[in-house]
Chains A and B, each alone.
Chain A
Amino acid sequence: MAAPTLAVYKFASCDGCQLSLLDLEDELLAIAEVIQIANFPEASREVVDGPYDLTLVEGSITTAHDARRIVEVRKQSRFLVAIGACATAGGIQALRNWADVAEFTRVVYANPQYINTLSTSQPISELVPVDFELRGCPIDKGQLLEVVTAFLQGRKPDIPTYSVCVECKLRGNPCVMVAKGIPCLGPVTQAGCGAICPSFHRGCYGCFGPMESANTESLASWWKQLGVEDAGLVDAFRGFNAWASAFREASDRHEAAIEIGGPR
């Protein structure tokens, strides 16, 4: 039987998540023995025609061209995995979703008429059905390896959906919020990174997006006790996963509170 085929596509993104595949230095050549890298332009000039068995999609949809392209990619893909915060939540560039993109274009480009872009940055799942979403900004390469392995074995990937707090407990980290009064998004953020930030004495800033049933309101009241105002909460929730619904709603709530309470 022929090896299953792999395709990797890029939309609006930083390249970091597909780089994670090349960062599997110890496993890359072994992976290439059991899976045919059929369409991965960043790594290979050779492109084998689809359809593909496993497709990894990095990046968000921000142009009309890309909105058409993702539909074609879906047609060519048996199992499509969105990888990273851009593909699963719109990425940092989803901050445009609260702004006037025409004004954004004028700020960055001298000739805005040359720029074709949509007014929003959307996750892949808003345009086409997605078979699995792997979170993170960037994704964790160990989790990527698990997704690829699970696909090859025909089982569901074992990716935890609990919070970063659990990873801190597993690492034996003292809680940075309790012990040091450092605001931390860990209680509402999905695990996956290994609780890196608290291990480096800083608060989590939400790279893996909201955990299941995140209680953002409770966390916000803890942050307020640490002296963080609504404006700071808006910034905290409007990060790399700003458009993920739990973080989006929390940021809108605190933005409305600023408008009621006066200028920030």
Chain B
Amino acid sequence: MNGLRQIAVDYLARVEGEGSLKVTVVDGQVDDVQFSIFEPPRFFEAFLRGRQHTEAPDITARICGICPIAYQMSAVHAMESAFGVEVGGALRELRRLIYCGEWIESHTLHVYLLHAPGFLGSPSAVHMAKDHRDVVEQGLRLKKVGNEIMRVVGGREIHPINVRVGGFYRVPTRRELEALVPELEWARDAAERTIRFVAGFHYPDVEQDFELVSLSHPDEYPFNEGRIVSNKGLDIAVSEFNDHFTEEHVARSNALHSRIKGRGAYHVGPLARYGLNFEKLTPRARDLAVEAGLGPVVRNPFQSIIVRSVEVLYAVEEALRIIDSYTPPEEPCVAYRPRAAVGHGASEAPRGMLYHRYAIDDDGRILDAQITPPTAQNQLTIEDDLRVVLEQHIDLPDDELQWLLEQTIRNYDPCISCATHFLDLQIERKERTT
């Protein structure tokens, strides 16, 4: 199709934060795709300098109200690696448990309230509730199960207060955790129903040769620990992150774009964790994934909603396992002494790997900080997907194309507050003037 076509959307809906998309189509060919982030910068790395290392988990949590536990976990692991502290046993299990809560809450928010309405042609979950009230109610109840874990272990759902370097301020009693079990047992069935529900959506036929990057641990599906691996040969310690990844700052975005040195764009998040750790899922989660038609590696970014749903089932089962075997530790926290050192931490936020690095002085104060959030890491990959989807569907009417491109971005559950730390969509179609 020739001629000038323009579509402009000022604010991409149902994502967390503010970003924009500008697409230029010349003579029916994709000319340029720019996914930009206009969220105002907040300068966390700058004002962390001079603060006590103990404040990092609470301060960095405020980068993101959707995934505060990810920030708290990457921060405490970075500090603990700097000081040579090992946190094991029940304390380590409690960290996995609270992370299960965040995955259940964040993934369910995404699946039911942000992404599913797009597949069902609905502007929001509230609109969707008119035809699918029982589905939306199931999603809200499942989301609440995740929030309840955060509240019991962390004190509250958003910006939990109980995580500290070395462990926790107070550990829950067995009885407090056991009170979560009946709803978690309901959630296990609800998570299965969720997988079957989203597996029935219509998925655009897109296959991408992603470089998938996630943590990998020998014994468990990754939350807090492991090596950073990829399906294209990367296998490094967390401390080697800056040797293999670079961030660059481009004019159109307040987020830094990440690349793997020598290769370029890569993909973090559920598809990466799943593709690199499939065998570490619970048997039930694997069976449901197979029943939903997924192989052990998923290359269609639109199917990430199914993979997120599989991860919800995993997180529910993992939470039940942890609670069943829980014996409160004698001390809520491992004692340590701060020292001048550099520490690295990476953990698996719901939307992908989150890396923190801190240099600490002898008094335990932060000298400098580096935070690399998942959405910044996915930004180039999102642009690649947009280009492919555009090329495949370039003849669609503007409103349908716009809907599809919004979904293409939402596949990543982008947390734009994180990435800067808006989405304004423009499609410009023009003839090349010669």
Q: CB within 8 Å of B: which of A1-52?
A: 10-17, 19-20, 22-23, 25-26, 28-29, 32, 37, 41-47
* B113:A43 contact, CB within 8 angstroms: yes
Contact string against A for B residues 324-346, beta-carbon threshold 8 Å, 1 for contact and 0 otherwise: 00000000100000000000000
B127 contacts which of A22, A46, A101, A193 (Cβ < 8 Å)?
A: A46
Task: Indicate if the CB atoms of A19 and B46 lie closer than 8 Å.
Answer: no
Q: Within the assembled complex, what's the spacing in Å between the Cα atoms of A207 and B254?
A: 27
Which segment, of A124-132, A195-203, A219-227, faces chain B? A195-203
Binds B, one of A74-82, A104-112, A148-156: A104-112
Instruction: Name B389-424 residues within 8 Å CB distance of A.
Output: 406, 415, 417, 421
Find out whether the CB atom of B13 lies under 8 angstroms from the CB atom of A15. Answer: no
Given contacts A10-B17, A45-B14, contact A196 B62 (CB under 8 A): no
Chain A residue numbers with a CB within 8 Å of B28 are none
Residues of B within 8 A of A26 (CB): 140, 144
Query: What residues of B have a CB within 8 angstroms of the CB of A13 in the complex?
Result: 65, 417
Q: Complex Cα distance A46/B123, Å?
A: 6
- Per-residue interface assignment for chain B, residues 367 to 379, with 1 indicating a CB less than 8 Å from any chain A CB and 0 otherwise: 0100000000000
Q: Whole-angstrom distance between the alpha carbons of A201 and B171 in the complex? A: 10
| Size category of the binding interface on chain A | 35 or more
* A44 to B123 Cα, complex, angstroms: 6
| Complex CA–CA separation, A66 to B421 (angstroms) | 16
B15 within 8 A of partner (CB): yes
A166 to B141, CA, bound (A): 32
Give the distance in Å from the alpha carbon of A92 to the alpha carbon of B71 in the complex. 15
Q: Mark B134-173, 1 if CB is under 8 A from A, else 0.
A: 0011001101100100000001111101101000111000
Interface size class of chain B, counting residues whose CB lies under 8 Å from the partner chain: 35 or more
State A29–B368 Cα separation when bound (angstroms): 45
Write the A109-120 contact mask toward B (1 if CB under 8 angstroms, else 0). 111001101000
Task: Flag if B65 contacts A16 (CB, 8 Å).
Answer: yes
- B147 proximity list for chain A (CB < 8 A): 23, 25
Tell me, yes or no, whether A163 is within 8 Å of chain B by CB.
no
B129 and A111 contact, CB distance less than 8 A: no
Pairwise interchain contact A104-B159, C-beta atoms closer than 8 A: no
Residue of A nearest to B154 (CB): A200
Contact string against A for B residues 348-385, beta-carbon threshold 8 Å, 1 for contact and 0 otherwise: 00000000000000000000100000000000000000
Q: How far is the CB of B102 from chain A (nearest CB, A)?
A: 12
Tell yes or no: A162 within 8 A of B by CB. no
Q: Are A15 and B17 in contact (CB under 8 A)?
A: yes
A124 to B31 CA separation, bound complex (whole angstroms): 41
CA distance A12 to B68 in the complex (A): 16
Contact A104 B46 (CB under 8 A): yes
Decide: A115 near B59, CB < 8 A? Known: A14-B65, A15-B65, A138-B159.
no
Q: In the complex, A219 Cα to B370 Cα: how many Å? A: 34
Q: Is the CB of B249 within 8 A of A240?
A: no
Q: Once bound together, how far apart are the Cα atoms of A103 and B143, in whole Å?
A: 41
Residue in A closest to B160 when the chains form the complex, CB atoms: A196
Known: A196-B156, A200-B169. A12 touches B42 (CB 8 A): yes
Residue A91 CB within 8 A of the other chain:
yes
Whether A111 contacts B251 by the Cβ 8 Å rule is yes
Identify the closest chain A residue to B136 (Cβ): A29
B113-144 interface (Cβ within 8 A of A)? 113, 117, 123-127, 129, 133, 136-137, 140-141, 143-144
Residue positions of A touching B, CB distance < 8 A: 10-17, 19-20, 22-23, 25-26, 28-29, 32, 37, 41-47, 62-63, 66, 91-93, 95-96, 99, 101, 103-105, 107-111, 114-115, 117, 121, 137-138, 141, 193, 196-197, 199-202, 205, 207, 235, 240
Q: Lowest 9 A-B CB distances belong to which pairs?
A: A16-B65, A44-B124, A104-B46, A46-B123, A45-B13, A25-B140, A45-B123, A95-B47, A110-B249
- Interchain residue pairs with CB less than 8 A apart (6): A12-B40, A19-B66, A45-B14, A47-B13, A92-B42, A235-B55
10 extra A-B contacts, CB within 8 A, seeds A104-B43, A107-B45, A197-B161? A16-B65, A25-B147, A32-B129, A62-B42, A92-B59, A99-B47, A107-B43, A107-B46, A197-B169, A199-B170
